[in-house]
Amino acid sequence: MATPMTAAQVVTQLKKWGIKYVEIPGWATHNRNSKGAWGPINGFIWHHTGAAVSADNARSYAASTLYNGLADLPGPLCQLAPRP
């Protein structure tokens, strides 16, 4: 298995691959419910939550719900999310 990527390495690869992205402040150090440090990424999974988010509200949704989580499920809910 390949060595897991750090947050900085993920950003480097996104740039290398020409993928447009927006960084939410603090994402690289945000941990799940204070359960330890943000871990390296071993891979990516495309998961659809079923949320209907318009392009105009995508950044707000990522910065709030995906970053902070829900009342019964602490965030972050993901490290990456597609742009609509």
pLDDT digits (tens, 9 = 90+) for 14-71: 899 998 888 888 888 877 766 666 677 777 766 666 677 777 777 787 778 888 888 8
Residue 41 sits at φ, ψ, to 5 deg, of -90, 125
pTM: 0.63
Cα torsion 42, 73, 25, 54: sign: positive
Q: Note whether 77 and 69 are within 8 A (CB).
A: yes
Distances (CA, A) of 51 to 26, 29, 34, 58, 80: 23, 25, 26, 11, 15
